[in-house]
Amino acid sequence: MKKLDLKKELEQLYNPPHKEPVIVDVPEMNFLMIDGTGDPNKAKEFEDAIQALYAVSYTMKFMIKKADPSKDYIVMPLEGLWWADDMAAFSAGGNRDSWKWTLMIAQPEQVTKDLFKNAC
C-alpha cells in the first residue's frame, strides 16, 4: 500500500525544477501552525512549538492510519515564516530576540478540525 506523499504531489512547491524565479499556483492547503517570538537558537518557546507541531502531526497520522490504513500518509517537514517589526533585526548583529515567526506543518485533506481536537 502506497502512502500519500504531499512533497511529491506538490513537487512544484517543495522541489521546483527551475533555478530562476517562476510564478506557481499554490493550492489551498491545511497547516498546523504556531506563532511565536524570540531567537530560535535560545527561545524555549521555539523548541516547544516544534515539539508540539510534530507530536500532534504524528498523533493525527496514526489515528488516520488506524482507522483506515489506505489513507496513510507521510508527515510533511517543518516550515517557517520569519519577520520583525524592525527588519534591521535580520542584519548581521541584529536583535534575534525581536524576531517573530510562524512554524507550520502542512496536513493532508483528511485532517479535520475534529481530528485535530481529538489528537490534542
Per-residue confidence (pLDDT) for residue 22, from 0 to 100: 86
Count CA atoms closer than 13 A to 12's CA, side-chain side: 7
- Domain annotation covers residue 58: yes
Per-residue confidence (pLDDT) for residue 110, from 0 to 100: 94
**Spatial separation of the C-alpha atoms in residues 48 and 55, rounded to whole Å:** 10
- Domain annotation covers residue 18: no
- Domain annotation covers residue 112: yes
Provide the domain limits for residue 53.
Answer: 6-10+29-89+96-119
pLDDT at 8 over 80: yes
CATH of the domain at 62: 3.20.80.10
- Domain annotation covers residue 21: no
- Domain annotation covers residue 17: no
Q: Which of 58-62, 87-91, 97-101 has the lowest mean pLDDT?
A: 87-91
Per-residue confidence (pLDDT) for residue 38, from 0 to 100: 94
Structural domains counted in the chain = 1
pLDDT, one tens digit per residue, over 12-58 is: 898 888 788 888 889 999 999 999 999 999 999 999 999 999 999 99
